[in-house]
């Protein structure tokens, strides 16, 4: 269409040129005829170029004389009516040089299109202005929306990275210390509680990992990792976790598990457990009376594989037919007003459906509003051993006789490793987990200290934390590799980090780390990683029996009540610290003791960096205080630290200067209470 209009304009303007030329060349006898021809051409030109939608048009000769303009051009440039030559009108002249013209009077934006007219006798040129105001507004809005989307995506990635670090840091301590309790405790009851903590926390961690790594699903990077696994173990972990929730709501929790299911399968057991946990958790959440039933059956699938047939049925509130699809929309909850007291983000079923799709399955829903719902799926799994699982609940039930004392998987008295972490509690965890391996373990509280220690001593492996003040793990690794005559120039360095979002592992490997371990660190994984990189002549493997004890009993409230009878805290929320310790009173004492023992360093780091106006490191230090204070139940202190950390990230120096003194006053109050309580406990 544009081409046709330009061609028409060219033809009309050419006609004008032709008439003008002829008028100059003819004599008096033909002047009248030329004038009549000119009038006819101009009349035709006006009819074409004054049509609505054509836009402003101006034609001039090569000497800038005005030859023609249409009605739209007069509206834009009223002075053109009296203009003989545009050389006196700079704005009109610029039209033949610029690509765009903005009219503030008409509030419009035009694209300027130019064409030249070359005739045998006369030459000239014209401009045609195309109104692109709406197009410009649309593009501008699209750019704004794109910028908003990019900002939101960046904010989400930052949130995931920060949350990954924040959640894993306290879980690292809880799980690590719990494992040490399991290894060293001799009292049967204590070991039972600790085992239950580990089972529940490990399963919880696998869910948290996926929630924090939701970006993997969005970007299509979620991986299915099949391994050999015992179906009885997987189901037992799921049942132990959910059974407590059901009992607390006074619901009947039934399990109907086919006894002839092959016991050793091949598939992604972590995803399998996560899917069932999501379905059972929802069933318990939305059921106030009655029961929740987990049924697991199977059928042959050929080629040494089977189909697991899983269903979860509840007598809950049910779902309206029109609301079923809403179940799978991320962050959306059905009947929000009715279910306002139900906890959760609304991600569970969305993740469940996508995980099943990745595993070539689908989630089916059958529900009757006000009566209950059934969620089911069929999942293909490989078979590694067809021995039937039998009555596995009896096999895995609590039994004093089945408690086995922990023994490490290897011993390596001649091997030497270095662990680098600015958090003293994390160093204690690693030392405690590896105590029975007989490894020679050195600990460095900073990157600078690590470089000093690695200057002369040869280590077989170095474990390096990433987030450290002054010199982080990546910078420390770079300096280590550049050290001259260092015995550790080629030593394997493994990063220990709470940053576990999508792409983190790849980033660390690109930086030069040989491997990656995400926090919380588990003893078995840590030992496996060490064996993977230790020289074979430096360790000896030890066989041992796995502990089979399974307990599920929630004592958090009773433990909190017991502590509050001993001491009336004002600045510490006792249920919070008990929860962080997974209900173990000795672990509560340990967490408070660690918080007290780190006072000198914490106070010194915060005060020094604040006084020196070293706000980047102040942000790191206040970040650490936010995590540790939350772990010990100092919620107000944690919240103040959180705001100061964000201010540091945003560069709001005035906010830090104004609120730092209040933070330290609150820190003093918390520390005084901790000391008084520990004094009563003689710790």
Q: Is the pLDDT of residue 9 over 70?
A: no
pLDDT for the residue numbered 21: 45
Residues 242 and 387 in one domain: yes
Q: Is the residue at 535 inside a domain?
A: yes
Residues 512 and 422 in one domain: yes
Q: Is the pLDDT of residue 608 over 60?
A: yes
What average pLDDT does the segment 470-498 reach?
89
pLDDT digits (tens, 9 = 90+) for 32-89: 544 554 454 445 455 555 555 578 888 888 888 888 888 888 888 888 888 888 888 8
Percent of the chain with pLDDT over 90: 21
Task: Report residue 24's pLDDT band, with 50, 70 and 90 as the boundaries.
Answer: very low
Structural domain count of the chain: 4
List of residues 6+ apart from 657 with CB closer than 8 A? none
Q: Is the residue at 579 inside a domain?
A: yes
Euclidean distance between CA atoms 550 and 522, whole angstroms = 18
Alpha-helical segments (H) within 185-291:
188-212, 214-219, 231-248, 269-285
Q: CATH number of the domain at 283, please.
A: 3.30.565.10
The residue ranking higher by pLDDT, 510 or 37, is: 510
Q: Is the pLDDT of residue 178 over 70?
A: yes
Percent of the chain with pLDDT over 70: 75
Residues 416 and 294 in one domain: no
The residue ranking higher by pLDDT, 372 or 521, is: 372
Q: At which of 344, 365, 397 does a domain end?
A: 397
Q: CATH number of the domain at 618, please.
A: 1.20.120.160
Residues 513 and 580 in one domain: no
Q: CATH number of the domain at 75, please.
A: 3.30.450
Q: Is the residue at 643 inside a domain?
A: yes
pLDDT for the residue numbered 407: 59
Residues 383 and 252 in one domain: yes
pLDDT for the residue numbered 450: 92
Residues 230 and 363 in one domain: yes
What average pLDDT does the segment 355-366 reach?
90
pLDDT digits (tens, 9 = 90+) for 288-312: 889 999 999 999 988 789 999 999 9
Q: Which of 489, 511, 503, 498 is nearest to 465 (CA)?
A: 498
pLDDT digits (tens, 9 = 90+) for 123-149: 788 888 888 888 887 877 778 777 787
pLDDT digits (tens, 9 = 90+) for 431-444: 878 888 889 999 99
Euclidean distance between CA atoms 163 and 484, whole angstroms = 38
pLDDT for the residue numbered 126: 83
Alpha-helical segments (H) within 445-584:
447-454, 473-482, 504-511, 523-533, 556-566, 574-580
Q: Is the residue at 167 inside a domain?
A: no
Residues 13 and 94 in one domain: yes
Residues 514 and 589 in one domain: no
Contact by Cβ (8 Å): 261, 305? no
Euclidean distance between CA atoms 640 and 626, whole angstroms = 8
Q: Is the residue at 569 inside a domain?
A: yes
Q: CATH number of the domain at 514, please.
A: 3.40.50.2300
Q: Which of 497, 495, 490, 476 is nearest to 535 (CA)?
A: 490
User: Quick count: other Cβ atoms within 10 Å of Cβ 576?
Assistant: 17
Q: Is the pLDDT of residue 676 over 70?
A: yes
Euclidean distance between CA atoms 348 and 631, whole angstroms = 26
- Which tokens go with 175? 């799980």
Of 46-55, 73-82, 450-459, 612-621, highest mean pLDDT = 450-459
What average pLDDT does the segment 108-122 reach?
76
Residues 535 and 466 in one domain: yes
Contact by Cβ (8 Å): 226, 269? no
pLDDT for the residue numbered 497: 78
pLDDT for the residue numbered 111: 87
Place of tokens 């995803």: 271
- Which tokens go with 641? 């630290």
Residues 571 and 519 in one domain: no
Q: At which of 500, 518, 541 does a domain end?
A: 541
Q: Is the pLDDT of residue 671 over 90?
A: yes
Q: Is the pLDDT of residue 417 over 70?
A: yes
Residues 418 and 371 in one domain: no
pLDDT for the residue numbered 460: 95
Euclidean distance between CA atoms 145 and 155, whole angstroms = 15
Contact by Cβ (8 Å): 432, 180? yes
Q: Is the residue at 403 inside a domain?
A: no
Domain, as residue range, for 37: 2-131
Task: Report residue 549's pLDDT band, with 50, 70 and 90 as the boundaries.
Answer: very low
Q: At which of 131, 152, 177 does a domain end?
A: 131
List of residues 6+ apart from 562 with CB closer than 8 A? 585
pLDDT for the residue numbered 558: 74
Q: Is the residue at 155 inside a domain?
A: no
The residue ranking higher by pLDDT, 258 or 53, is: 258
Q: Is the residue at 125 inside a domain?
A: yes
Burial of 146 (0-12, 13-18, 19+ CB in 10 A): exposed
Contact by Cβ (8 Å): 294, 376? no
Euclidean distance between CA atoms 299 and 297, whole angstroms = 7
Contact by Cβ (8 Å): 473, 454? no
Task: Report residue 397's pLDDT band, with 50, 70 and 90 as the boundaries.
Answer: very low
The residue ranking higher by pLDDT, 396 or 293, is: 293
Task: Report residue 492's pLDDT band, with 50, 70 and 90 as the boundaries.
Answer: very high
pLDDT for the residue numbered 536: 82
Residues 244 and 347 in one domain: yes
Task: Report residue 341's pLDDT band, with 50, 70 and 90 as the boundaries.
Answer: very low
The residue ranking higher by pLDDT, 335 or 426, is: 426
The mean pLDDT of the chain is 78
Lowest mean pLDDT among 400-414, 431-445, 609-623, 628-642: 400-414
């Amino acid at each position: 269409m544009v081409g046709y209009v330009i061609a028409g304009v060219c033809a009309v303007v050419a006609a004008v040129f032709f008439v003008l030329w002829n008028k100059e060349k003819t004599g008096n006898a033909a002047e009248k005829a030329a004038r009549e021809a000119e009038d006819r051409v101009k009349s035709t030109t006006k009819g074409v170029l004054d049509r609505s939608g054509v836009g402003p048009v101006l034609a001039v000769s090569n000497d800038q004389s005005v030859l023609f303009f249409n009605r739209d051009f007069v509206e834009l440039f009223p002075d053109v009516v009296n203009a003989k030559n545009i050389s006196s009108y700079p704005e009109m002249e610029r039209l033949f040089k610029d690509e765009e013209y903005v009219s503030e009077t008409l509030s419009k934006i035009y694209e300027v299109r130019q064409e030249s007219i070359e005739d045998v006798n006369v030459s000239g040129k014209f401009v045609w202005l195309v109104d692109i105001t709406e197009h410009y507004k649309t593009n501008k809005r699209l750019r704004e929306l794109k910028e908003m989307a990019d900002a939101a995506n960046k904010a989400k990635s930052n949130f995931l990275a920060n949350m990954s670090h924040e959640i894993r840091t306290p879980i690292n301590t809880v799980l690590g210390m719990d494992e040490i309790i399991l290894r060293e405790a001799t009292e049967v009851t204590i070991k039972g509680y600790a085992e239950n903590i580990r089972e529940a926390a490990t399963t919880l961690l696998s869910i948290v990992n996926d929630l924090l790594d939701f970006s993997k699903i969005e970007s299509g990077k979620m991986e299915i990792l099949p391994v050999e696994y015992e179906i009885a173990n997987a189901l037992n972990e799921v049942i132990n976790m959910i059974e407590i929730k059901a009992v607390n709501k006074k619901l009947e929790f039934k399990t109907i598990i086919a006894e002839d299911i092959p016991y050793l399968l091949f598939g992604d057991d972590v995803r399998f457990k996560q899917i069932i946990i999501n379905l059972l958790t929802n069933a318990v959440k939305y059921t106030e009376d009655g029961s929740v039933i987990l049924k697991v059956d199977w059928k042959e699938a050929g080629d040494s594989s089977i189909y697991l047939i899983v269903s979860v049925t509840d007598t809950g509130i049910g779902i309206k037919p029109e609301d079923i699809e809403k179940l799978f929309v991320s962050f959306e909850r059905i009947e929000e007003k009715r279910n306002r007291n139900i906890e959760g983000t609304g991600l569970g079923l969305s993740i469940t459906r996508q995980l099943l799709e990745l595993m070539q399955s689908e989630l089916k829903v059958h529900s009757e509003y006000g009566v209950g719902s059934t969620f089911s799926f069929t999942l293909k799994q490989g078979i590694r051993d067809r021995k039937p699982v039998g009555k596995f609940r009896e096999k895995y039930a609590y039994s004093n006789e089945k408690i086995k004392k922990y023994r490490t998987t290897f011993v390596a008295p001649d091997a030497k490793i270095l662990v680098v972490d600015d958090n003293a509690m994390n160093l204690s965890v690693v030392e405690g987990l590896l105590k029975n391996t007989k490894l020679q373990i050195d600990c460095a509280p900073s990157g600078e200290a690590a470089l000093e220690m690695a200057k002369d001593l040869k280590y077989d492996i170095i474990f390096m934390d990433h987030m450290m003040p002054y010199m982080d793990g990546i910078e420390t690794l770079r300096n280590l590799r550049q050290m001259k005559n260092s015995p550790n120039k080629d030593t394997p360095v493994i990063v220990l980090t709470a940053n576990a979002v999508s792409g983190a592992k790849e980033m660390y490997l690109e930086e030069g780390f040989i491997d990656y371990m995400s926090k919380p660190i588990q003893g078995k994984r840590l030992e496996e990683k060490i064996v993977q990189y230790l020289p074979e002549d430096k360790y000896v493997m030890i066989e041992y029996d796995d502990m089979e004890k399974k307990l599920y009993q929630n004592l958090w409230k009773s433990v909190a009540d017991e502590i509050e009878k001993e001491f009336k805290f004002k600045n510490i929320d006792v249920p919070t610290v008990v929860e962080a310790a997974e209900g173990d009173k000795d672990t509560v004492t340990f967490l408070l003791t660690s918080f007290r023992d780190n006072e000198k360093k914490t106070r010194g780091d915060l005060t020094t960096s604040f006084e020196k106006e070293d706000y980047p490191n102040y942000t790191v230090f206040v970040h650490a205080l936010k995590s540790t204070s939350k772990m010990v139940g100092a919620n107000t202190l944690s919240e103040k630290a959180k705001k100061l950390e964000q201010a540091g990230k945003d560069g709001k120096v005035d906010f830090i200067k104004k609120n730092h003194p209040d933070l330290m006053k609150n820190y003093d109050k918390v520390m005084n209470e901790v000391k008084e309580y520990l004094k009563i406990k003689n710790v």
